Structure formats: structure tokens, C-alpha cells
Chains A and B, each alone.
Chain A
Amino acid sequence: MAPENKIDKEKMVVVEGSYAVAHATKVCRPNVISAYPITPQTHIVEDLSQFMADGEIPNCEYINVESEFSALSALVGASAAGARCYSATTSQGLELMHEVLFNISGMRLPVVMTIANRAVSAPISIWNDHQDAISQRDTGWLQLYAENTQEISDMTAQAFKISEDKDILMPSMVCMDGFILSHVYEPIVLLEQDLTDEFLPAFEPEHVLDPKNPMSFGAFADPNYYTEFRYLQEQAMQKSLKKIEDVANEFYDVYGRYYGGLIDEYRTDDADIIIMAMGSIIGTIKDVIDKLRDRNVKVGLLKVRSFRPFPVEAIKGALKDAKVVVVLDKNISLGLNEGALFTETKSSLYNTKLDMPIIGYMVGHGGRDIKVDLIEKIVDDAKEVIKTGITIESQFTDLKEELL
């Protein structure tokens, strides 16, 4: 059973999601922040800039770089020199960082970066979907997805703790839906400095660029050695599965707030239909589930917090009694006609004794609103699948026929 959240209403303030992230980053005591503005991430780095201008982040250097490519490149050096490092980006900016993403995870540098998820061009779109981060899924970064502004704030501190663990040392993307969470004002409890200091100790790397003890970083590895580096990265990813859960519990112990570990479940105990999704759509789905439960539809939710590492065992455990699984994806792997969460969930269940039908829907691309009645219609489809089996495995939905 998930512990009950103890949110102190006296401490609640109404802030923008971006401010919540910037504030969380500040109390995590970063040493180097580098960033390049890009919608809808910009408010985060603006708020951090203001904190710097007001002298509120001690022992920190803020670098206004000339591109996202250099934003992350600067953190390669800064992290290797022993600094706790932070950046934020989205969409094209994240895609521009692609090569550096591999570099950071390969050098085992525990950088934390917020992604205000946004569609990728062309056509250009500044609105939310998950294509940007999903397209970087194989870069060796942890990917955690938040449901609301409270969670994105708290997840930021959790990410530093997970990434900097000596057994892990893998970077993290902390993903929030662009605009939907980055620009929304909600009442939340901001992270407190004293509690955060207790939760998150200073980053103490074992390997540092230090003239007193010279080391070489990023050496050239021929075929005799490269494979082992990749293997060790994957081992660290596998270890992070437990670490993510442990840190969620440690966070609860200090702050009294919990959102699930690798996944979270909502009304799944007796559910025939389980909907899987990530990010801010979770709130809408919960409302639909409450409504349908009133009509005795046995439907529940599996919220995926950690997309990387992919929580295969946790997902198998949560789905084992479902009669049908519905996966909603705000992304598509072009050429497969499937979203990534759908594909990977199917893949997780193959070669197991679980054999329930799984259907996938690609929704909300480029910021299209996902409405309650759309999810209700999808649940109706799922009911039909229980009765008659799968007719369409994966599909776009809510298409405007007149544009096709």
C-alpha cells in the first residue's frame, strides 16, 4: 500500500510549475547551471536567473550559453570537475543535445535536467507531447515523468539523489508536460531548504578532474573494452530500479509526500481494464476512472513514473489480473504505428505467462487536448476487446478526417 500523503495546507502557495522546478533546483544547491532559452522551458531558467541575480544560490555559477548543445557540453566539464549540475530544455533543444546526452551517461556524470516536454518539428509546434524525450530513450538517461506541479518539484530533488548515488551515476531527465505543467499555477508546498539538506547531501564524486590527482576522462576504447562500458551502464540502469523506489520512500520519510516509485496504481485492485499513461494526462484519467467506477465499470490506472529504466517487473505485477490493458502514448515510433510505452509494455509481457490483450492509442500530439469523453470512448473500446478480442492493435485517435 502506498503511504498516505501528509500535505501541510498551511504551507501551500500558489506558484507556476516552472517556478516550482526552479525553486526545487535552488534548494538542491546546484554548483553549475547552464541553459539556453526555449519555449516552454524558458520560465524555469528565468526564475533561476533571478535567484542568481538576488544572490539566493550560493556557490553556484550560471552560464548563459549560446546553444543547448553547449548548455549540456558545459555540464560535461562542470560535472567531471565535481560540481552538482543542472540544466533544463525541451523539444528541438533536447534533440540538439543528442550527442552530448550519450557522452554524459557514458562518462557516468550525474547531471539532472528538466524537460518541459514539447512536440518536435516539422511542422513546428510549441505545445506538449512526449516525442522529444521519448526520442532520447536510448541515451542512457533516466527518464521520470511527473503528473502535477507538486510531483515535478519533489521529483527534482529525488532525481539528484538517484543520479548521484555511487552505484548509479547515471544522469536524469525530469519530465513535465510543457505548458500543461510548466505554465500552470497550482497550490503546492515548495521544497524547504532544511529538509532538502537533510534529504540530499552534497555531491561527493570519487572521480574528479584534479591537478593533484590527474585522471583521464573519456578515453578512447577499442573493441577490447567498449562493450564492458556499455554493459556497466546497463547494470547501473538496472540498479536504479530499486534506487528510484528507495528514494521515493526516503523522500516520504522526510517530507511526507509520495507519488509511487517506478509506477503508481489507482483503483487497480479489482480492475478488468487498466489504462497506462505518463505525465499530466494522469489527472484526467483519474477523473474518468472515478466517474466510470460510479457506473460499475471496473477500470484502473497504472501511472508510469519511470520510463527509463523501464519497470518491467513492476508493470507485470500491476497488470497480472487485468482482462485488457490500454496504453495511451503522446508519441509515435514512426514506421511501427505504435507509441513507445505501448511497444515496451507489450515487449515486457512477452515470454511471460501473462497473455491479456493490449491496445494502444496515440493521443495528444502537438498539444491536442485529451478530453474526458475521448478517454471514455477508449474505455468503451476496451470493453469491446474483452468481449470480442482485438481488431485494431494500435491507432491514432481523435483525427480530423477533413484534414487527411
Chain B
Amino acid sequence: MKSLLAPGHRGCAGCCDAMAAKFTLMGAGEDCIVINPTGCLEVMTTPFPETAWDVPWIHSLFENAAAVGSGIEAALKALGKKGNTKVVVMGGDGATLDIGMRSISGAFERGHDLTYVCIDNEAYMNTGVQRSGATPFSASTTTSPAGKVSFGNDRPKKNMPAIMVAHGAPYVATTSIGYPKDMINKVKKAVDIEGPTYIHAHAPCTTGWGFDTSKTVEVAKMAVQTGLWPLYEVEEGEVTKVRKIGKNVKPVEDYLKMQRRFSHLFKMEGGLEEIAKIQALADKNIEVYGL
């Protein structure tokens, strides 16, 4: 299969964004238009006069990608050019869970035929690892740093997929760049469904999370195998498919140990209690989704 994201972009070695974009395009196919809010992906792929995109691509602003996508979909319809062309938004977690929330909510409520892929690396990585609404509990970031009286981010991740299910989206799925086939197939399924569909892709960031550049996929897999990032599909509001972990479930400690952003938990007094709280989050997922 021809890659629609050209090599030679300026992503870091081991970059999760490049993988996520590539897998998304493999699922969407070449007859698509990509909308990309501000973030690493935009910056690293389109330094003028170069572009890594072999599909039509537009960046507008940080907070309006879904609205821009709405307009593209409407224009294709009005001009009689809709055909089979897929409208695909690829936004980071900041652009999705935080600043772009209103625009996404509006686009989904209006029922535009587009697929929104959130590439979730759990903080604002483009600007130097600041916390977002997707930053997990007890992760240290530059704006939620661990310190003498803090274990880092004191809130759990916002449950974005649940919010999108609540919008009545016909298809919502979680995926991970650690499972390329899973991601490609889910994107393929999403773009073929009429109406607004949402895919939330977990995407470990080597730079922001602090792990070796060769370990991106390994870390991504571990998030799934601990139960911290369950992979499931929701169709018409019902959970229809879950990726089972079964007996291979790993303790969250193994996942946390791989990353600098959690390293304080293993050094600070009371850190073990924090790890236990994170384990409880994973256990809850295992129970809720029957992992």
C-alpha cells in the first residue's frame, strides 16, 4: 500500500503522531480530505514550502478543526462533489478535549458526515509537555509538575469517548498506535459509516513521556495490557466489541516504570499509594469493559 504520508517529515524518532497519521490514512484511503488543528502533526508535516501530505490537507486554527470539516463536507455536498470523498479530522488531545470541544460538539450534533480521529499523547507536546484534559492522574508535566507537595496532575483523564457517545455518534471507538491493524480497521469502518464518527487513538510520545525512541509501540501496548487504555467499539450507543486482555493483564507499575513522567511516584513518599490509585483506575476498566 502506498503511504499517503511521505517520509522526510520532521517528526521525532519514534514519533507517535507520524504513526497515527499514517495508520489513519491507510484506513481512510486516498479519496479523503484531512483537517488538522494546530499541534505537532501540523508543524512537523507542513513547513512551507514542503508538505508530507499526499492528500488534500488544511490547517486552520487550534480550536476549530471540526467546524472547518463541517464546512468542507457541506461544500462537497452543495457542489455535488461529495461522491465517496471522506472528510477526516486528525487532532491532538489538546485540540480535541480542551480548546476544540465546542466545535466538535457542534459538528457532531449537526450530524456532519466526517470522521474525527483524536491522537492522544496525553499533554500539549508541541509546546513542551503542558497538561491537557487528557493528561492522566499523577503524571508530571511542565504545568502539573510533581513537587514537594504534589504528585503531578491531580485529575483523571476526561472521558472523551463517552462524551462522543452521548452526542449520539453512530460509531465511537478507542484504539492505539500499538495495534496498527486495530487502528486501520477502525478508521476504515468509521469513514464508511454515514454521519459523524469518532476514534480516540492512544499515542505515547517519546519526548513528552520520557522513554527510549525505540519503545513507542511497546509503551502503547503496555497501556492496553494493563487495562488503563481499553480498546472497544460503540455502535449506536452500545458497546459492540472489546479487545480482551484475559490472563495476560499486566500491573500498572510495569507501565509507569517505563516513563519519566511517572518516575516521581517511585521515589516520593506516598508514591506507592498513588500507584495504587492508578491501579484502581485500570481495575475499574477491566471490570466495566470485561477486559
Q: For the complex, is B75 an interface residue (Cβ under 8 Å from A)?
A: yes
Task: Knowing A32-B78, A61-B77, A221-B48 are in contact, say whether A81-B72 is a contact too (CB < 8 A).
Answer: yes
The stretch among B50-58, B154-162, B255-263 that forms the contact with chain A is: B50-58
Beta-carbon contact of B70 and A77 below 8 Å: yes
The minimal Cβ–Cβ distance linking A40 to chain B, given in whole angstroms, is: 23
Q: For the complex, is B80 an interface residue (Cβ under 8 Å from A)?
A: yes
The stretch among B99-107, B220-228, B266-274 that forms the contact with chain A is: B99-107
Closest residue of B by beta carbon distance from A203: B79
Closest residue of A by beta carbon distance from B4: A214
Inter-chain CA distance A208–B33, complex, in Å, is 11
Q: For the complex, is B64 an interface residue (Cβ under 8 Å from A)?
A: yes
Inter-chain CA distance A228–B68, complex, in Å, is 25
Range of interface residues on B (Cβ < 8 Å): 35 or more
Q: For the complex, is B35 an interface residue (Cβ under 8 Å from A)?
A: yes
Q: For the complex, is A280 an interface residue (Cβ under 8 Å from B)?
A: no
Beta-carbon contact of A74 and B71 below 8 Å: yes
The minimal Cβ–Cβ distance linking A66 to chain B, given in whole angstroms, is: 3
Count chain B CB atoms within 10 A of each CB in A60, A61, A103 and give the residue with the most.
A61
| B residues 41-87 in Cβ contact with A at 8 Å | 42-43, 46-49, 51, 53-61, 63-64, 67-81, 85
Q: State which of B47, B55, B109 has its C-beta within 8 Å of the C-beta of A214.
A: B55
Beta-carbon contact of A69 and B67 below 8 Å: yes
Task: Please indicate the chain A residues that have their CB under 8 angstroms from the CB of B57 in the complex.
Answer: 209, 214-217
Interface string of B14-38 (1 = CB under 8 A from A): 0000000000000000111101000
Inter-chain CA distance A39–B60, complex, in Å, is 28
Q: State which of A77, A214, A217 has its C-beta within 8 Å of the C-beta of B54.
A: A214
Beta-carbon contact of A209 and B33 below 8 Å: yes
Task: Knowing A32-B71, A32-B74, A214-B54 are in contact, say whether A77-B79 is a contact too (CB < 8 A).
Answer: no
Task: Knowing A73-B68, A211-B32, A214-B57 are in contact, say whether A66-B106 is a contact too (CB < 8 A).
Answer: yes
Task: Please indicate the chain B residues that have their CB under 8 angstroms from the CB of A222 in the complex.
Answer: 47-48
Q: For the complex, is B110 an interface residue (Cβ under 8 Å from A)?
A: yes
The secondary structure that dominates the B interface is mixed
Task: Please indicate the chain A residues that have their CB under 8 angstroms from the CB of B78 in the complex.
Answer: 31-32, 59-61, 78, 83
Beta-carbon contact of A73 and B48 below 8 Å: no
Range of interface residues on A (Cβ < 8 Å): 35 or more
Q: For the complex, is A218 an interface residue (Cβ under 8 Å from B)?
A: yes
Task: Please indicate the chain B residues that have their CB under 8 angstroms from the CB of A81 in the complex.
Answer: 33, 71-72, 75-76, 79, 81
The minimal Cβ–Cβ distance linking B136 to chain A, given in whole angstroms, is: 29
Task: Please indicate the chain B residues that have their CB under 8 angstroms from the CB of A210 in the complex.
Answer: 56
Beta-carbon contact of A70 and B67 below 8 Å: yes
Beta-carbon contact of B68 and A59 below 8 Å: no
Beta-carbon contact of B71 and A73 below 8 Å: yes
Task: Please indicate the chain B residues that have their CB under 8 angstroms from the CB of A214 in the complex.
Answer: 53-57
The minimal Cβ–Cβ distance linking B69 to chain A, given in whole angstroms, is: 6
Beta-carbon contact of A76 and B70 below 8 Å: no
Beta-carbon contact of A66 and B71 below 8 Å: no
The minimal Cβ–Cβ distance linking B191 to chain A, given in whole angstroms, is: 13
Inter-chain CA distance A39–B63, complex, in Å, is 25
Pairs across A and B, CB under 8 Å, 30 listed: A31-B75, A31-B78, A32-B74, A32-B75, A34-B71, A59-B79, A66-B103, A66-B105, A67-B102, A74-B70, A77-B58, A77-B75, A81-B81, A83-B71, A83-B75, A85-B71, A100-B60, A107-B60, A209-B56, A209-B57, A210-B56, A211-B32, A211-B85, A214-B53, A214-B54, A216-B46, A216-B57, A218-B46, A218-B59, A220-B59
Q: Which residues of B contact A (CB under 8 A)?
A: 30-33, 35, 42-43, 46-49, 51, 53-61, 63-64, 67-81, 85, 102-103, 105-107, 109-110
- Listed from nearest, the 5 A-B pairs whose CB atoms lie closest are A77-B71, A66-B106, A74-B71, A73-B64, A73-B67
